[in-house]
Structure 1
Amino acid sequence: MQGRKPKIPNGRDAQENTAAFALIQDDNEPIVVNGEPAGASICFVKTGATTGGRYLMAKVEVPPGSGLPLHAHTRTDEWFYFPEGGAVMLMGATKYKDADNPPDLAGRGTIRLVPMKKKGSLVFGPHNHVHGYLNVSDKTIQAWLVWTPDTPEVSLLGYFQSIAKPVLPGVRGALNNPIVQLKAVSEARKYGMMFSKDFWQYAEKVEDGPAPFGKNLPGLIRLL
């Protein structure tokens, strides 16, 4: 895939992506968690309890310069949707089979920088592959995240709730909160995740390019 120009969503792509998410009606009482790893507020608008265990969906407020450090799920797939754009995804194509086989042991891989600056940008991240994102704009943006499945055995809701607090007085943003950082990493394994506060622990090299796994819009529509 080297040498190909990044595929940036055009107007039609954005319309298709927006139409897919229009299929979703938020739960009457969303679950709001503050202080998650990106230094943002995260609102869980759908859970396995209301989707029959099919998926968990959250809307995340991401401040400028903030984002989600590189990590991998071993139990859930994920979609990343940026209704107003403003982000860059960091995605790896190397597969790590389980939490006992992390990148620092199995060998680091190439991390691809995928531009998501256009409105309606959508990409897919399958389980066992490293991913993260960064707000590269000068304003707070939204990231809409969908994880599948969301059953009691694999749900990530408890992970975000467990690391939300404490918030230290005078420390702005979870990225600057060492307690939140420590909990984010230490709690990850319990939920089948490989997580590090260090972006580059998982990277051998970085390159620009298209998303390794596309956006899998048909799969998202079937799920929703």
Structure 2
Amino acid sequence: MTDQDYGSAVVVTQSERNTRWFFRNMVDVIAGAEQTGGAYAMFELIGPPGDEVPLHVHTEEDEAFLLLEGEMTVWVGDDVRTLRAGDYALMPKHVVHCYKVTSDTAARWIAITSPAGFEDYVIEISEPAAERRLPDFAGFDPEKMAEAGKISEKYGVTFRGAPGQRPSDLKK
């Protein structure tokens, strides 16, 4: 992409995306602070059936999903919703949340975080994808999760539970 001031047209082609392996997902970092003047970051993610993230909370940004393919359940505070293609969900900052891909096939979605900055977290905690496919994944290694927790804290993301735990588990 050529250098442009925010306010002019910004186009990021498929080949210009920063494709990463992010836990079990393949994620394309489409746009971040540089492209949006700090307003938001945009990602396209693909997650395999059964994919779920640790229960967590963001202190710096709101997070939104637009599901393009597949099905997922999102837990946002006390609210539990099933998303199907075309559905949108907002996970406000300071509200504990997680998701699980519940379809028999991979789910594909657009994630937007506002303001921008979350793209730096994704880049630091992930690795460049060797090819456009889902990464090999052997499970959540406790040592790697501890390191991920340290990186996450730096970006205002706090793990509040392991994958499979839900916001209601915090009340027990």
Give the TM-score normalised by the residue count of structure 2. Answer: 0.78
Of 115, 132, 140, the residue aligned with 2:106 is 140
Secondary structure class of the residue paired with 2:53: strand
What letter is aligned with 2:79?
Answer: R
Deviations 1:121-147 (A, max 9, x none): 101111100111110011111121000
What residue number does 1:58 align with? Answer: 43
Matched-pair contact (CA < 8 Å) for 1:58–1:146: yes
Q: 1:183 and 2:147 equivalent?
A: yes
Q: How does 1:55-204 map onto structure 2 within 5 Å?
A: 55-92=40-77, 111-116=78-83, 118-150=84-116, 155-165=117-127, 172-173=136-137, 175-196=139-160, 198-199=162-163, 200=165, 202-204=167-169
1:44 partner amino acid: V
Structure 1: 5+ residue runs without aligned partners?
A: 1-24, 93-110, 207-224
Supply the distance in 1 between the matched residues of 2:58 and 2:11 (Cα, whole angstroms): 25
Whole-angstrom CA distance in 1 between matches of 2:11 and 2:52: 23
Q: Is the 8 A contact 1:175 1:181 kept in 2?
A: no
Q: Deviations over 1:69-127 (max 9, x none)?
A: 211111101111111241101110xxxxxxxxxxxxxxxxxx432111x2201011111
Q: CA deviation at 1:203?
A: 3.1
- Take 2:120 and 2:114, find their aligned partners in 1: how far apart are those partners? 15
- 1:32 aligned onto 2:22: no
C-alpha displacement of 1:162:
2.0
Q: Which runs of 5+ in 2 are unaligned?
A: 1-9, 129-134
Matching residue's letter, 2:140: N
Identical aligned pairs, as a percentage? 25
Q: 1:30 corresponds to which letter in structure 2? A: R
Please give the alpha-carbon distance, in whole angstroms, between the structure 1 residues aligned to 2:43 and 2:53: 14
* CA contact 1:165–1:180 (8 Å) conserved in 2: no
TM-score, with structure 1 as normaliser = 0.61
Deviation per CA, 1:154-206: give whole Å up to 9, x if none.
x122222222259xxxx942643444322221211100111145143753479
**Rounded Cα–Cα distance in structure 1 between residues aligned with 2:122 and 2:75:** 21
Structure 2 counterpart of 1:162, one-letter code: E
Alignment RMSD? 2.5
